[in-house]
Amino acid sequence: MDFDFTDDQEQLRDAVRKWVDKGYTFERRKNITKDGGFSRTAYAELADLGLAGLYIPEADGGLGMGPVEGMVVMEELGRGMVLEPMTHTLMAGTVLAGYAPDAPNLVKAAWLPKIASGERLVVLAHLERGARYGLTHCNATASSNTATAPDLWALSGTKSIVVAGDRVDAFIVPAMAGGRLALFLVEREAAGVTTTGYGTQDGARAAEVRFDNTPATLITKDGSIGLAHAIDIGIAATCAEGVGVMDKTMAVTVEYMNTRKQFGVAISSFQALRHRVADMKMQLELARSMSYYAALKLNAPAQERSAAMARAKYQLGVSMRFVGQQAVQLHGGIGVTDEYIVSHYFKKLTQLEMTFGDTLHHLGEVSARMQDTAGVFA
Amino acid sequence: MDLAFTPEEQTFREDIRAWVKTSLPKDIAHKVHNALRLSRDDHQRWAKILGKKGWLGHGWPKEFGGPGWNAIQKHLFEEECALAGAPRVIPFGPVMVAPVIMAFGNAEQQQRFLPGIASGEVWWSQGYSEPGSGSDLASVKCKAEKQDGKYIVNGQKTWTTLGQYGEWIFCLVRTSNEGKPQTGISFLLIDMTSRGITVRPIKLLDGESEVNEVWFDNVEVPIQNLIGEENKGWTYAKHLLSHERTNIADVNRAKRELERLKRIAKTKGVYDDPRFKDEIAKLEVDVVALEMLVLRVLSAAKSGKNSLDIAGLLKIRGSEIQQRYSELMMLAAGPFSLPLIEEAMEAGWQGDFPGGELSDAPLAGTYFNMRKTTIYGGSNEVQRNIVSQFVLG
B-chain CB neighbours of A9 within 8 Å are 1
Whether A332 is in a domain gets the answer yes
Same domain for A233 and A364? yes
Alpha helices in B158-250 (DSSP H): 233-242
Whether A374 is in a domain gets the answer no
Q: Do A367 and B310 touch (CB under 8 A)?
A: no
Q: What is the mean pLDDT of the segment spanning B379-383?
A: 95
Whether A241 is in a domain gets the answer yes
| Class of the domain covering B244-392 | mainly alpha
Of A223, A253, A276, the last residue of a domain is: A223
pLDDT of res. B245: 63
B-chain CB neighbours of A1 within 8 Å are 2-6, 9, 72, 295, 298-299
> Residue B112: which of B21, B225, B198 has the closest Cα?
B225
Q: What's the rounded Cα separation, in Å, for the pair B357 and A180?
A: 49
A-chain CB neighbours of B387 within 8 Å are 277-278, 281-282
Judged by CB atoms within 8 Å, which residues 324-383 of B form the interface with A?
381, 383
SS3 B189: strand
Q: How many structural domains does chain A have?
A: 3
Q: Pick the residue from chain B with its C-alpha nearest to A364.
A: B278
Same domain for A231 and A364? yes
SS3 A197: strand
Of A223, A250, A279, the last residue of a domain is: A223
pLDDT of res. A229: 97
| A363: closest CA of chain B, how far (Å) | 7
The residues, ordered by sequence, that sit 6+ positions from B47 with a Cβ below 8 Å of its Cβ are B56, B89, B90, B120
pLDDT of res. B306: 66
Query: Which residue of A1, A293, A365, A367 is the best one to mutate when testing the B interface, meaning the one whose CB has the most B CBs within 10 A?
Result: A1
Given a cut of 60, whether residue B243 has pLDDT beyond it is no
The residues, ordered by sequence, that sit 6+ positions from A7 with a Cβ below 8 Å of its Cβ are none
The rounded mean pLDDT for chain A is 97
B-chain CB neighbours of A3 within 8 Å are 1, 295-296, 299-300
Rama region for B215: left / alpha / beta (φ>0; ψ in -120 to 50; rest)? beta
Same domain for A274 and A230? yes
Same domain for A280 and A249? yes
Q: What residue spans define the domains of chain B?
A: 7-91, 124-231, 244-392
DSSP state letter for B166: -
Whether A376 is in a domain gets the answer no
Whether A186 is in a domain gets the answer yes
Given a cut of 60, whether residue B244 has pLDDT beyond it is no
Same domain for A171 and A127? yes
> Residue A252: which of A166, A348, A363, A128 has the closest Cα?
A348
Split at pLDDT 50, 70, 90, the class of A321 is very high
Whether A375 is in a domain gets the answer no
Domain that holds residue A178: 122-223
pLDDT tens track for A72-86: 999 999 999 999 999
Same domain for A209 and A334? no
B-chain CB neighbours of A5 within 8 Å are 1
The region of weakest confidence among A200-214, B183-197, B297-311 is B297-311
Same domain for A259 and A346? yes
How far is the CA of B342 from the CAs of A189, A280, B39, B163, B364, in angstroms? 77, 42, 14, 22, 12
CATH of the domain at A204: 2.40.110.10
Of A117, A133, A150, the last residue of a domain is: A117
Whether A2 is in a domain gets the answer no
Quick count: other Cβ atoms within 10 Å of Cβ B128?
20
Alpha helices in A51-104 (DSSP H): 67-79, 86-98
B-chain CB neighbours of A277 within 8 Å are 387-388, 391-392
Cα distance between the two ends of chain B: 31
Contact B229/A at CB under 8 A? no
CATH of the domain at A111: 1.10.540.10
pLDDT of res. B377: 86
Q: What is the mean pLDDT of the segment spanning A43-51?
A: 98
Report residue B280 CA to chain centroid gap: 25
Same domain for A294 and A213? no
Which CATH number applies to B124-231: 2.40.110.10, 3.30.70.380, 3.90.550.10, 3.40.190.10? 2.40.110.10
Same domain for A96 and A190? no
Q: Do B262 and A370 touch (CB under 8 A)?
A: yes
Q: Pick the residue from chain A with its C-alpha nearest to B279.
A: A367
Whether A169 is in a domain gets the answer yes
pLDDT tens track for B348-377: 999 999 999 999 999 999 999 999 999 998
pLDDT of res. B302: 82
Q: In A, what residues contact B, Cβ < 8 A?
A: 1-6, 9, 68, 250, 254, 257-258, 268, 271, 274-275, 277-279, 281-282, 285-286, 289-290, 292-293, 295-297, 311, 314-315, 363-364, 366-367, 370, 372-377
> Residue A370: which of B333, B289, B280, B266 has the closest Cα?
B280
pLDDT tens track for B289-322: 999 999 999 888 888 776 777 889 999 999 999 9
- Burial string for B9-19 (b: 16+ CB within 10 Å, else e) reads beebbeebbeb
Q: What's the rounded Cα separation, in Å, for the pair B291 and B314?
A: 10
Same domain for A303 and A321? yes
Contact B310/A at CB under 8 A? yes
| B72: closest CA of chain A, how far (Å) | 9
Q: Is residue A230 a contact partner of residue A91, using CB atoms and an 8 Å limit?
A: yes
